[in-house]
Structure 1
Amino acid sequence: MKQYRILPMAVVGIIVLAIDQLTKYLVATRMELGESIPVLGEFFKITSHRNSGAAWGMFEGRMMFFYIITVFVVIFLAYFYKTEAKNNLLMQLGITLLISGALGNFIDRLLFQEVVDFADVLLITYDFPIFNVADSALTVGVIIMLIEVFITGRGKEEK
């Protein structure tokens, strides 16, 4: 019997989306644009930033492109979840995080035509691009999917 764990994954997705939207709301309403609050010295700061593009500002200002791509990606991921994830907990979690992350940034783009970013990390001497919870969910989702595909073997279902 196929086990999709829809309810637990929906709960995970809703929690990730809620944390994403809450943190963005707090930054947008309580900080000035460009304001920075050190959390762990220079290593990690909360910095109020807006991005009208994708990662590293790519495709800046192309909202219709993002709307269309996001809708197609979310539909594809939901289909992939249904057809490929079966009894595979890692695959289900990865897809859930990808959908949550995509929807988190989609909501921002739809409502404000830009995404609120705030996590500002300095990696040794590299000032990593400022990101948010949705971006983190997307990244972790991709990592989980890569682990599942290349390390544990995508076709293998959990017993």
Structure 2
Amino acid sequence: MAKWLKWTINLTILSALIAACGVIYLQSVSNKAVILNCSSELFDRHGQHEDDGKFYLLVDVLISSGNAQINYRYFNLDGSSAGMILMQGEVQSMEPNSMTYNVSVKTKTESEGVDKKAWPEHMKYLSYISSLHFSKSGKHNMSIEILHSDTSKDYAVVLFQPSNTVCGCRIVNSRI
């Protein structure tokens, strides 16, 4: 009887240890951050001169532990800053079949060092649409949809809504 009891106790401890290792592994896999460095060239077709309305947009995305940070950085053709919008919030859902992250933005910071009249049209639109949502509901809902990705080349094509922005992104870290 003592032999049977020892085996039962040993198997119970071994089962608990295997279950604990499984839980730790699942948590480490699910907590892996998504980090994307994205870029796009912006062009305002209403610009009067050849270089009028041309800007570069860099978007840095960090999604980790249910939190999201999206930093839109705008640059003039000479590399000088044309403005910045930083959004922080929570991931409300992730749709694996469409690779879409639905984010509820809680806070937004806009650059103050650049005159709003000189902002790129895209930045003005993003500021306007997000402020509209903040004034109505206190939050701004957006989605980040991965249209195409090639993890072997660390590359993805990403659509940001409602800003209607498609960017080429370098995958820095991902669970894509």
Using the size of structure 2 for normalisation, the TM-score is 0.29
Compare the two structures and name the one with the higher helix fraction: 1
Q: Which has the larger radius of gyration?
A: 2
Structure (1 or 2) with the greater strand fraction: 2
Larger RCO (CA within 8 A; separation ≥ 6):
1
